[in-house]
Structure 1
């Protein structure tokens, strides 16, 4: 009897290990499929629920100029994400939205905060905890918002948001498209955020505004001056 129990236990462990390995392999294959087989998004007839990440250092100004040129009705409702320690980006987005509401048909929007991954001057050791906290917060935010489009242009805050959107897409929970627009100030080299999204293949589309950047990074799309 004891021998039979041991045999059954051993068999159960082997089956469990087999299912675990199979699950890991399937997840890896799914991730590779998402990374390497993504093509253009199908044509849309309905507005896309859009999540936009803002940030200091000129990122907010460039993003709002980009949004000026877009049809707001096609990117609605909009959810802006700003770092909790950024006191300027939220009010700027609010002021611009009020201006758009007067000019165009009213569309919905909201402004949300996320913990910053790393403060300027913060040590890399202590930033591990803050980065993990920001990432956990980002997973909750993205799951709650369920955006169809994530639009970013480089602030560090965009990395946990894009990581969460990418993971949910790999798991099949969402079909979020990630679009990155590199800053006009980047003429020869990618920013750190762009490098991460490019080399990890998180972004579905990565636009650059200088032709030499597109030659350096062949999967980037040269869009010319966008604003």
Structure 2
């Protein structure tokens, strides 16, 4: 009996500190996410400064929706360099991205003042897929970590065969990241959040304060037009992570991960 009581006391001595540390870590993560989402973006960029836009193409209908949105809203005089990220086994998205860029550099129609993009002002990068169709859930964590690592390299400009940015860009990090799913979008937004947290901690630890890097790596998630009354799985996961969460149906507006977090914003039909 005495040995049993001693064992219970030992377990309590191990469990209580472990549980306390786990709770503190969870509170720090929740506070960091709320602070990051609601923080004011520093206004470091001067007017006319080029913007590096990173677009995640999620294959199939996600790619089609994203290219429709870009066709309506992309301003090549502002977003002067575009990086398209596609996953392995998705030649459709890579081809469509190249075709989209080819159309941007076509001569404008007569009597229009539309400014066209400069040739070779984009890059298409293929990274590993986070989870293949019908892949076992036991192996999915390993491929997801592989995809996350690839996303970190892309955001740092160090992925194999990734083009070097033009001289006018002072940082390898993209200014804006836009995605609409699926799994690779979660990896990319999470990678951006990790990098921003690391930059913030390093600046704070060295006493350098706010720098232009803090205003970069801003993420936008656009929920699929097909989601009318409920969020997608990617949307649920990205609700506490994305800096801006746009929905295309009024019923999805005003949702948030928990109290104190940013709400989803109704942007209307962005694909039609």
With the length of structure 2 as denominator, give the TM-score of the two structures. Answer: 0.68
Say if 2:179 is the partner of 1:148.
no
Say if 2:76 is the partner of 1:49.
no
User: Residue 125 of structure 1: SS of its match in structure 2?
Assistant: coil
Report runs of 4+ in structure 1 exceeding 2 Å deviation. 27-47, 215-218
Find the counterpart in structure 1 of residue 264 from structure 2.
220
Find the counterpart in structure 2 of residue 76 from structure 1.
80
In the TM superposition, what are the counterparts of 1:6-17 in structure 2 within 5 Å? none
Find the counterpart in structure 2 of residue 187 from structure 1.
228
Is 84-93 or 132-141 further displaced after alignment? Answer: 132-141
Cα deviation, 1:79-101, whole Å, max 9, x if unaligned, reads 00000111210000101110011
CA RMSD after TM alignment: 2.4
Count of equivalent residues: 201
Say if 2:242 is the partner of 1:203.
yes
Say if 2:39 is the partner of 1:38.
yes
Cα deviation, 1:121-172, whole Å, max 9, x if unaligned, reads 0010011211111111111111124111000011211111111111111122
With the length of structure 1 as denominator, give the TM-score of the two structures. Answer: 0.80
Name the structure with the higher helix share: 1
Find the counterpart in structure 1 of residue 139 from structure 2.
126
In 2: Cα distance, 1:105 partner to 1:69 partner: 15
Say if 2:198 is the partner of 1:171.
yes
Q: How far has the Cα of 1:73 moved from its partner? A: 2.3
Q: Taking structure 1 as reference, are residues 223 and 40 closer, same or farther at Cα in structure 2, changes over 3 Å only?
A: farther
Find the counterpart in structure 1 of residue 103 from structure 2.
99
Q: Taking structure 1 as reference, are residues 125 and 211 closer, same or farther at Cα in structure 2, changes over 3 Å only?
A: same
The answer as to whether partners of 1:38 and 1:204 remain within 8 angstroms in 2 is no
Is 207-216 or 76-85 further displaced after alignment? Answer: 207-216
Unaligned runs of 5+ in 2: 1-24, 109-115, 158-171, 201-212, 257-261
